[in-house]
Amino acid sequence: MSILVDTHTRLVVQGITGRDGSFHAKQMKEYGTQVVAGVTPGKGGARLDGLDVPVFDTVAEAVEKMKANTSVIYVPAAAAADAVLEAADAGIGTVICITEGIPVNDMLRVHHSLAGRPMVLVGPNCPGVISPGKSKVGIMPGFIHKPGRVGLISRSGTLTYEIVFALTSAGIGQSTCVGIGGDPIIGSRFTDLLPRFESDPETDAVVLVGEIGGSDEEQAAAWYAERKRRIRMVAFIAGKSAPPGKRMGHAGAIISGGKGTARDKIETLQRAGIAVAPDPADIPGLVRAALKD
Amino acid sequence: MKIHEYQARRLFEEAGIPVARAETAKTPAEAEAAAARIGTAVAVKAQVHVGGRGKAGGVKLAGGPKEAAAAAEKILGMTIKGSVVRQVLVMEKVNIAREVYLGLVFDRDRRGHGLIVSAAGGVDIEEVAAKTPEKIHREFIHPLAGLSGFQARKAAFSLGIPKPAALETAKTLMALYGLFQKTDATLAEINPYVIRPDGTTVAIDAKMNFDDNALFRHRAIESLRDMQEEEPLEIEAKSADLAYVHLGGDIGIIGNGAGLVMTTLDVVTACGGKPANFLDIGGSSSPEKVRRALEIVLKEKGLKVIFLNVFGGITRCDDVATGLVQAIRSLAPKIPIVIRMTGTNVELGMNILKESGLNLKTHPTMQAAAAEAARLSGT
């Protein structure tokens, strides 16, 4: 098993006629993902260069005609919130939003509008989700992954690749790797996804990759400490040397009012019994040690 | 994005919030004329983005036009926490019975907005929150419902001010929220909001911050940006679509992906090095972006070494190598460049570096490269 995406994933690509959308649609298809449809409003019926995927005007059509159950969004920031709502309205169960730069107020409206719906939103401003060997939905390079029993949840993109590559090189495969995004308002936080890994019989441990800003890592620590968990956890926090008040690339990576420092997060995670790697290179060793517990 | 007090004051005025009479001045003569037009005692206030200007001597009271000119003379040209004062706001001196704090903030944890008011106005609100939290009243604002009138009244009545003043304050809060929402602000603050001895109310300070990601739909707000208040290299990087933060050390850092660059800074710092900057060339980088990145970092003063750390995912190592070789040929940097590169097309990239004849050394891991960069910087 795995979480969020697998061999049953039937993907619709929102924004498929754009530069990023068409490039990554091809990459995902090559990886083996079932890319069943694309959507660009006004371009329904269009043929894509070198990609045999039907294009529709609406997500509803993609669901009706191609039985799409998962969506990935590559539309520009100004239209991305609307794209998420359209996917939800069409009955898509898992929506993964790659787009960076969406206004905070747009995401607040999306988040509260979707409350109570049985839909999972991952992102925005994220690399996507991959269950190695089964399905890749996003922009991550597929070749660095290897099927296995360790899950990964991260607020970062490239840093995640770095860590996945280190795991794979050490012979540790992954069940599912989820990039939850670097924005202050994201669809799924660590605590929304950890229970899914906890109930996935094919995941034994989870690597949490956090960074400065917000309190999602502290909440993850609280979740882990709440009761005896089946999965083992290892964490890494980026931004130990980041100055307060400066936004470090990600919209959500900022220490404000003295809150959200790396040190606070590391101490909270350690108190919850989670080993925190001082350096990304230490992660494979800590994962092995955690699995022996 | 931040704006100046005088700009936020104008937005407040347009939104119907009572504000004290005020004019900006760029010279002592202008300050004198402004004070004469206002016709009362005035406060002369430095216009800079950084906080704590009062403590730094950036706010002075003046009895009349001559004194206002003298105050402006002292304040203009002053440096407050690295910001040079180029403009002052000359504001009527308001009679004060009570000073309160009014604020609207983005509430990340609860995924909404917060209304914060405090009877302890005119002082640092974070200090009040830490030392006397009972003096703070908060209301959660649900993004789909907005601020309700009853919440504004509840907050205003919590301040212990006369009823007519509380009702006027509630009106100000509603107007402030309207402005906050309409402009995609992330912060709107009036500290202090004054209750005069006659019971009327007025804002004598104004502060607003805005969501950078929403500026595309607020051209009028974006036009308020003061380029002189921002790091020149951060502006230049932004125009090249690169994320940049000036940090002040002597090791220039270039990497791809915010998390990876943050980690690079951490590893370099752990090795005893001092990063000069944060520079993220992004997830899908062209040779041109790498060239621009090197060009910008080289403008940092006192650099001793540059550390380029790239994990090739969507970014291809051959693209990075091509850009780097081009950049080094055209810019001829006089300081060493430490390179760590791995991932997509790493062999191609390494070959490009080797065949360039530029004698570029690479290191297999981030740790080894960071240690070498720290060593070369001599720290």
Contacts of B281 (CB under 8 A, 6+ apart): B242, B254, B255, B256, B289, B290, B293, B315
Mean pLDDT, range A223-250, rounded to an integer: 95
| CATH number of the structural domain spanning residue B27 | 3.30.1490.20
Band of residue B283 on the pLDDT scale cut at 50, 70, 90? low
* Closest approach of B95 to chain A, Cα-based (Å): 31
Residues B74 and B102 placed together within one structural domain of the fold: no
Q: What is the predicted pLDDT for the residue at B359? A: 84
CA B14, CA A235: separation in Å to the nearest integer? 49
Give B-chain residues touching A130 at CB under 8 angstroms. Answer: none
Q: What is the predicted pLDDT for the residue at B284? A: 63
Residue A159 Cα distances to A192, A281, B100, B264, angstroms: 21, 11, 45, 10
Contacts of B259 (CB under 8 A, 6+ apart): A154, A155, A156, A157, A158, A159, A160, A182, A209, A211, A238, A249, A250
A&B contacts, CB < 8 Å? 159
Residues of A that are catalytic: 250
pLDDT at B219 over 70: yes
Q: What is the predicted pLDDT for the residue at B314? A: 73
Cα-to-chain-centroid distance, residue B165: 33
Residues B170 and B132 placed together within one structural domain of the fold: yes
Q: What is the mean pLDDT of chain B?
A: 94
Query: Which of the residue ranges A34-48, A161-175, B272-286 would you say has the lowest mean pLDDT?
Result: B272-286
Full residue range of the structural domain in which residue B156 is found: 98-222
Give B-chain residues touching A258 at CB under 8 angstroms. Answer: 126
pLDDT at B122 over 90: no
pLDDT at B379 over 70: no
Residues B88 and B102 placed together within one structural domain of the fold: no
CA B341, CA B343: separation in Å to the nearest integer? 7
**B312 torsion bin: left (phi>0), alpha (psi -120 to 50), beta (else):** beta
B214 vs A105: CB contact, 8 Å cut-off?
A: yes
Residues B188 and B301 placed together within one structural domain of the fold: no
| B124 falls within a domain | yes
* Closest approach of B111 to chain A, Cα-based (Å): 6
Minimum CA–CA partner of A217 in chain B:
B109
Q: Which string of DSSP letters, residue by residue, matches A73-139?
A: E---HHHHHHHHHHHHHTT-SEEEE------HHHHHHHHHHHTTSS-EEE-SSS-EEEETTTEEEES
pLDDT at B76 over 80: yes
Question: Torsions phi, psi of A119, nearest 5?
Answer: -115, 145
Give A-chain residues touching B251 at CB under 8 angstroms. Answer: none
pTM attached to this predicted model:
0.93
Q: Measuring CA to CA, which residue among B209, B236, B205 is closest to residue B225? A: B209
What residue ranges define each of the domains in chain A, with the CATH number in brackets? Answer: 10-122 (3.40.50.720), 141-292 (3.40.50.261)
SS3 B168: helix
| B197 falls within a domain | yes
Minimum CA–CA partner of B142 in chain A:
A112
Minimum CA–CA partner of B344 in chain A:
A141
Band of residue B207 on the pLDDT scale cut at 50, 70, 90? very high
Mean pLDDT, range A147-153, rounded to an integer: 98
Question: Where is pLDDT greater, at B359 or A25?
Answer: A25
| B4 falls within a domain | no
Mean pLDDT, range B251-273, rounded to an integer: 96
B126-164 pLDDT, tens digit each: 888 888 888 999 999 999 999 999 999 999 999 999 999
Q: Which residue bears the tokens 């940090």?
A: B247
pLDDT at B215 over 80: yes
Burial of A19 (0-12, 13-18, 19+ CB in 10 A): exposed
Residues B125 and B246 placed together within one structural domain of the fold: no
Residues B177 and B279 placed together within one structural domain of the fold: no
Of the residues A23, A186, A241, A283, the best mutation for testing chain B's interface (the one with the most B CB atoms within 10 Å of its CB) is A241
How many alpha carbons lie under 13 Å from residue B234 in its C-beta half-sphere? 17
